[in-house]
Homo-oligomer: A and B are copies of this chain.
Amino acid sequence: MRAEIITIGDELLIGQVVDTNSAWMAQRLNEHGIELYQITSVHDDREHIIKALDEAFGRVDIVLTTGGLGPTKDDITKHVLCDYFGTHLIEDQRVRAHIYDLYKARPDVLNRLTATQWLVPESAEILPNRVGSAPLMIFHKGDRILASMPGVPYEMEIAMEEQILPYIIDKRQKTVSLKDKRPIIHKTLQVTGIAESSLAILLEDFENTMPEGLHLAYLPKDGVIRLRLSSYGALTEDEMQTYFDRLKDLTNTYLVADTDEPLEVIVGRLLKAKGATIATAESCTGGKLASLLNKHPGSSAFYFGSVICYDNSVKEQVLGVSSEMIKAHGVVSEEVVRVMAESVHELLGTDFSIATSGIAGPSGGSDAKPVGTVWIAWATPQGTSAECFHLGKLREQITDRACVKALVGLIKRIK
């Protein structure tokens, strides 16, 4: 069973909005064994949308669209779908009641444009949108279906989770033969400290002896390579595990994780298992590392807090780095970053801490310490250690990579 996504909106094609929806939907579809064949982003334009629908239905059975469902003039998806499926708009009293309920605290929103939101295509199945005003619509074209959802990410996510995915899965149970229910399995491990091409040579025999239908993909990012093994109905779970275990053995020296989890999730799991806590003292990463550590629910169990010491005065006054030390060694130095790490873990009373100090650029570099130089220190119950890295030339790349190095270094030290 294959699906395609069509994302609708001029904002995607002028680059005003990054399409984060498609990746989220792709993950959920794959987890349920539905292969995503293509993602297409089109303008809020009648002919363009219709062309994309025709092409998608020529390839797959399930088409998911996002966007273009707002109450304003630029949103035309509902009208285009009406024409495409040969139907027209009627009032839906359930949707009307839902919208009245949704805006009961904000009666000013119940204006005549909002009233267009309870006009729905007569032939479509209408599913409730618990968190927004635009109803979810499912259209049928023979055996094939189209589901239309809002483009607002959290509305789309709740719609997919609670309505659209269960609908598709239920439909598949009823109509698809067993053969087509073969599992899609993806397993990912993460390695560091080896170049992509060297890794590929290391894995050459493994790759050459993989059975048909098994794929290995290399995804390098910020100094970590994710190695993804994918089976599209070729292997059972057990067979897949055997190949994955072999891959783990072969890459063992470089292995950071044997899951696709974000590094900060792995850190959180390791810290929680130890009942340990952590703080950060950040200069060049400027709070990015803190944000990662508290991004996920439950982080208050291990993450205490941070001192972001962007200006040297904060390093001196809050973290006790002496101005003499800064003069002698520079602010991007092993000496300073060690003091930062030790101070913040004493100040906040945590078991572990990480400190970063580097030159994120574009200015501030020198011959001795070019842009991209980053010192990272880790204070642990076993003592403090520090490393120096050279992380490229671009500001965002440098700070992203510094966070990866900081987390990888912590994982090694906790283990």
A residues whose Cβ falls under 8 Å from a Cβ of B: 10-20, 22-30, 36-44, 48, 52, 55, 70-74, 106, 108-109, 111-114, 131, 152, 154, 186, 188, 195-198, 200-201, 207, 215-221, 226, 228, 230, 260, 277, 280, 282, 286-291, 293-295, 297, 299-300, 303-311, 313-314, 317-318, 347-349, 361-363, 392-397
Contacts and interface: CB of A to CB of B under 8 A. Distances in A.
Given A41-B38, A294-B286, A109 B300 contact: no
Given A26-B12, A305-B311, A72 B218 contact: yes
A340 to B, nearest CB: 12
Given A113-B201, A348-B318, A226 B294 contact: no
Given A282-B287, A294-B310, A304-B310, 8 more contacts: A16-B27, A38-B42, A39-B40, A73-B200, A74-B217, A112-B201, A306-B306, A317-B348
8 contacts: A14-B186, A15-B27, A15-B36, A39-B39, A109-B198, A154-B392, A154-B394, A277-B311
Contact of A74 (B15, B29, B215, B397): B215
> How many copies of this kind of chain does the complex include?
2
Contacts of A114: 195, 197
Which of A25, A188, A198, A306 has the largest number of chain B CB atoms within 10 A? A306
Nearest to A395: B297
B297 A286 contact: no
B20 A18 contact: yes
Contacts of A308: 280, 287, 290, 294, 305-308
A36 B14 CA distance: 7
Chain B CB count within 10 A is highest, among A73, A108, A309, for A73
A66 to B, nearest CB: 13
A37 B26 contact: no
Given A70-B218, A106-B195, A108-B195, A362 B297 contact: yes
Contacts of A318: 305, 307, 318, 347-348
Given A286-B290, A314-B348, A297 B27 contact: no
Contacts of A362: 297
B197 A71 contact: yes
Contact of A361 (B10, B22, B131, B297): B297
Given A12-B23, A12-B26, A230-B14, A310 B314 contact: no
Contact of A13 (B12, B38, B52): B38
A200 B40 CA distance: 28
Contacts of A111: 197-198, 201
A242 to B, nearest CB: 20
Best-surrounded residue of A43, A197, A215, A363 (most CB of chain B within 10 A): A197
Contact of A19 (B19, B37, B291, B313): B19
Given A291-B288, A294-B287, A41 B22 contact: yes
Contacts of A40: 38-41
Contact of A219 (B11, B106, B108, B306): B11
A396 B197 CA distance: 37
Given A290-B308, A306-B287, A362-B297, A16 B219 contact: yes
A299 B226 CA distance: 33
Contact of A14 (B19, B26, B196, B306): B26
Contacts of A44: 217
B19 A15 contact: no
Contact of A30 (B15, B200, B361, B397): B15
